[in-house]
Amino acid sequence: MSAELTSDQTVGVTPEPVLTARNVSIEYEVDPVVKAVKDVSLTLNRGEILGLAGESGCGKTTLAYGLNRLLKAPALMTSGEIVFHDRSGEDVDVRALDGDGLRAFRWDKISMVFQGAMNSLNPVISIRAQLHDVLTTHRPGMSKDEKEARSVELLTLVGVDPSRINSYAHELSGGMRQRVMIAMALALEPQIMIMDEPTTALDVVVQRGIIREIMRLREQFNFAVVFITHDLPMLLEISDRIAVMLQGEIVEMGTAQEIYRNAQHPYTRKLLSSFPSLTGTRGDFVRRGDSTEGAA
């Protein structure tokens, strides 16, 4: 994907925070202990796309799971605070949620599109049943006809022919499966959507279509997005701000323009230099005469 920056990447973005994380640390309780996320703080603004970049194993997905309270043993959040700022004006202590409160929070306030749609969708249940299941669980008052209408509406929103509602995951292309996952994440109109490598294993044409769909839906519904990927040029194109992670820490954060024009951390500059442009030579991203040796 091209790293050319669009002229307006802040449409709909306000300085109003929707999620605040302070000093979050997450460990894997194995022998020896693995400190996957180290004292990370960030603020996500309403309607913003925040890109989270870094190499495999740097802690991106672990942080995302922590923000959404999806960590499972041996992963453990050892310190930090996560506060969700609801549209109603209520501040929710996410770490304090449990039981029914946590179930009501997930998907309703924060949803997630997981890496690998084929593994996320149930292979033996139709798309209709999976969409209905989300609505039955979180909107128990909806009638069967209302759930059907909502499911058709969601598929239409993400560009999937509603006639595919009876299909199973293996009968859909990779791009269609990913769109179905986005439809499920949109079902309850969340205020935040976390996307973990949503275009992995898709060809570049399909990637472009998925990205366009995400941008369109974000503008239509004004939800905030945490977009996780190792593809920094993609983030430069779609993000309002970018956080770069290395070994469990955020080593640099700034607007897409700031990261592109004036990256400060050597690791960020190496990430930039590792992607050749379509019109120049490898290293065109490097600023201030930095060497490309050792680029990630």
Q: What amino acid occupies position 190?
A: P
Distance between the two ends of the chain, CA-based, in angstroms? 18
Return the higher-pLDDT residue of 11 and 69. Answer: 69
Residue 176: helix, strand or coil by DSSP?
A: helix
Q: Which band of pLDDT confidence, cut at 50, 70 and 90, is reported for residue 286?
A: very low
Domain coordinates of the chain in residue numbers? Answer: 1-109+191-256, 119-189
Span 215-231, average pLDDT = 93
Q: Looking at the predicted structure, is the pLDDT value of residue 41 above 50?
A: yes
Q: Let me know: does 54 contact 44? Beta carbons within 8 Å.
A: no
What local confidence, expressed as pLDDT, does residue 91 receive? 97
Please write the tens of the pLDDT for every residue from 244-271: 999 999 999 999 999 999 999 999 999 8
Q: Looking at the predicted structure, is the pLDDT value of residue 137 above 70?
A: yes
**SS3 of the chain: helix, strand, coil, percent, to 5:** 35, 25, 40
CATH of 1-109+191-256, one of 3.40.50.300, 3.30.2130.10, 3.90.1150.10, 3.30.450.20: 3.40.50.300
Q: Looking at the predicted structure, is the pLDDT value of residue 61 above 80?
A: yes
Q: Looking at the predicted structure, is the pLDDT value of residue 290 above 50?
A: no
How far from 220 is each of 106, 107, 119, CA to CA, in Å?
A: 21, 18, 28
Q: Which band of pLDDT confidence, cut at 50, 70 and 90, is reported for residue 282?
A: low
Beta-carbon contacts of 190 under 8 Å, excluding residues fewer than 6 positions away, are: 107, 108, 109, 110, 111, 223
Beta-carbon contacts of 159 under 8 Å, excluding residues fewer than 6 positions away, are: 179, 209, 213
Q: Let me know: does 270 contact 296? Beta carbons within 8 Å.
A: yes
Q: Looking at the predicted structure, is the pLDDT value of residue 196 above 50?
A: yes
67 vs 77: CA distance, rounded Å: 10
Q: Looking at the predicted structure, is the pLDDT value of residue 97 above 50?
A: yes
- Residue identified by tokens 């669009």 is 6
How far from 281 is each of 182, 250, 278, 290, CA to CA, in Å?
A: 36, 29, 8, 15
Cis peptide before 32 (omega within 30 of 0): yes
Return the higher-pLDDT residue of 26 and 117. Answer: 26
H/E segment holding residue 204: helix 204-221
Q: Which band of pLDDT confidence, cut at 50, 70 and 90, is reported for residue 140?
A: very high
Q: Let me know: does 35 contact 94? Beta carbons within 8 Å.
A: no
Lookup: tokens for 136: 């039955």
Instruction: Give the predicted TM-score (pTM) of the model.
Output: 0.85
Q: Looking at the predicted structure, is the pLDDT value of residue 83 above 90?
A: yes
Between 81-90, 113-122, 181-190, 225-234, the lowest mean confidence (pLDDT) is in 113-122
Question: β-pairing, 75-85 with 91-93?
Answer: antiparallel
What residues does 111 pair with on adjacent strands? Answer: 193
Average pLDDT of the chain? 87
Q: Looking at the predicted structure, is the pLDDT value of residue 287 above 80?
A: no
Closest CA to 4 of 224, 216, 235: 235
Beta-carbon contacts of 290 under 8 Å, excluding residues fewer than 6 positions away, are: 266, 269, 270, 273
31 vs 91: CA distance, rounded Å: 37
Q: Looking at the predicted structure, is the pLDDT value of residue 96 above 50?
A: yes
